[in-house]
């Protein structure tokens, strides 16, 4: 039984990360009907931004919670800016063209970030400084580290924060309006370019937060780290119903738990295959995902 609970904890902390990244896919899709394949690489850039900030602050030698918060905020700000720049330079010029054009542009941006990253950061893996001293709490024989706990708690806070922004603020209302119908929203006086840029900033900031938090628990970072994690988060978004925020959270958690359970069996090396198997099944059985439906509110 304790084994089961231990795996649930492992799965939830993995799933929370997928969920955070999946939110970025789902928001951009909701507003623009664009699958932003570069999103996983923004997550990678978030981890690297955090790496450089943390080293500049020499956090490895003197870890502190305050320092970790500064690093996370800094990395979120940098990635929000990167998200806006990507949208402005790569996606806006082709927004009037067919959706396939945007999709291929997204793949191009993704490859540019991955291999550009290898040029700038080199292909060697780096190890993220330990910003918070690792501590382990035990409940019976179930162990949880403060880092996993932090990942789960911060992810939940960020997701509720996002729900609040989307449903309780003016810009959130503008986002929902834009997602319903871009041209009508424009006619109603909404600055849709701003709303779209804001959506990219928000999604990229969440990916950056995920990048920094993953690096806390799993300290190896490299320029291709966003490739597999990003694809799995994309599957999580599709599973939950792309365009739906609660769906992205649920999808992320499910993928995380499934991967952990497969990892615990003798089929452990098939864990990467699980996510893609799920993608195929979802597309065959219920293409709109668990929470998605044609009438659902898209954001």
- Contacting positions for another protein (CB under 8 A): 3, 6-7, 10-11, 14, 37, 100, 103-104, 107, 111, 122-125, 127, 130, 134, 136, 138, 141, 143, 145, 214, 218-220, 225, 229, 259-266, 268-269, 271-272
What's the Cα-to-Cα distance from 98 to each of 33, 102, 207, 212, rounded to whole Å?
11, 7, 27, 35
Rounded least distance, CB 171 to another protein, Å: 32
Nearer of residues 218 and 296 to another protein, judged by Cβ: 218
Neighbours of 2 (CB within 10 A): 11
284, with CB counted inside 10 A (0-12, 13-18, 19+), is exposed
Neighbours of 14 (CB within 10 A): 26
Rounded least distance, CB 65 to another protein, Å: 18
Q: Under a CB-based contact definition with an 8 Å cutoff, are residues 115 and 41 in contact?
A: no
Rounded least distance, CB 147 to another protein, Å: 8
d(CA 203, CA 162): 10
Nearer of residues 42 and 214 to another protein, judged by Cβ: 214
d(CA 10, CA 133): 19
Rounded least distance, CB 204 to another protein, Å: 21
d(CA 299, CA 237): 13
Helices 146-168 and 2-32: angle between axes, nearest 10 degrees:
30
Nearer of residues 89 and 139 to another protein, judged by Cβ: 139
Among candidate residues 191, 213, 203, 209, the one with its CA nearest the CA of residue 165 = 203
Q: Under a CB-based contact definition with an 8 Å cutoff, are residues 246 and 34 in contact?
A: no
Nearer of residues 174 and 225 to another protein, judged by Cβ: 225
Rounded least distance, CB 6 to another protein, Å: 5
Rounded least distance, CB 242 to another protein, Å: 14
Neighbours of 265 (CB within 10 A): 9
Nearer of residues 114 and 190 to another protein, judged by Cβ: 114
Neighbours of 23 (CB within 10 A): 29
Cβ contacts of residue 34 below 8 Å, gap of 6+? 28, 91, 99, 102, 103, 106
Nearer of residues 269 and 294 to another protein, judged by Cβ: 269
Rounded least distance, CB 39 to another protein, Å: 14
Nearer of residues 6 and 72 to another protein, judged by Cβ: 6
Rounded least distance, CB 89 to another protein, Å: 20
Nearer of residues 96 and 269 to another protein, judged by Cβ: 269
Question: In the block, which residue shows the tokens 């918060």?
Answer: 69
């Amino acid at each position: 039984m304790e084994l089961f609970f231990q795996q649930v904890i492992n799965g939830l902390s993995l799933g929370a990360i997928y969920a955070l990244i999946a939110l970025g896919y789902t928001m951009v899709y909701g507003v623009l009907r664009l699958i932003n394949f570069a999103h996983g690489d923004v997550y990678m850039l978030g981890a690297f931004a955090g790496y450089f900030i943390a080293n500049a602050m020499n956090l490895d030698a003197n870890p502190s919670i305050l320092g970790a918060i500064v690093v996370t905020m800094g990395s979120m700000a940098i990635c929000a800016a990167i998200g806006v720049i990507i949208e402005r330079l790569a996606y806006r010029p082709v927004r009037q063209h067919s959706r396939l054009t945007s999709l291929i542009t997204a793949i191009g941006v993704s490859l540019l970030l991955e291999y550009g990253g290898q040029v700038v950061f080199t292909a060697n893996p780096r190890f993220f400084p330990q910003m918070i001293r690792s501590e382990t709490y035990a409940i019976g024989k179930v162990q949880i580290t403060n880092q996993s706990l932090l990942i789960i708690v911060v992810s939940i806070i960020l997701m509720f924060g996002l729900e609040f922004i989307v449903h309780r603020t003016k810009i959130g209302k503008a986002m929902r309006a834009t997602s319903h119908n871009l041209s009508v929203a424009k006619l109603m006086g909404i600055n849709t370019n701003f709303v779209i840029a804001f959506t990219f900033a928000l999604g990229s900031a969440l990916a950056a937060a995920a990048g920094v938090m993953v690096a806390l628990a799993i300290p190896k970072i490299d320029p291709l780290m966003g490739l597999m994690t990003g694809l799995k988060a994309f599957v999580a978004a599709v599973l939950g119903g792309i365009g739906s925020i609660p769906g992205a959270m649920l999808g992320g958690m499910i993928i995380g738990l499934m991967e952990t359970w497969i990892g615990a069996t003798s089929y452990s090396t098939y864990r990467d295959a699980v996510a893609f198997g799920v993608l195929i099944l979802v597309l065959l059985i219920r293409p709109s995902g668990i929470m998605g439906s044609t009438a659902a509110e898209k954001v």
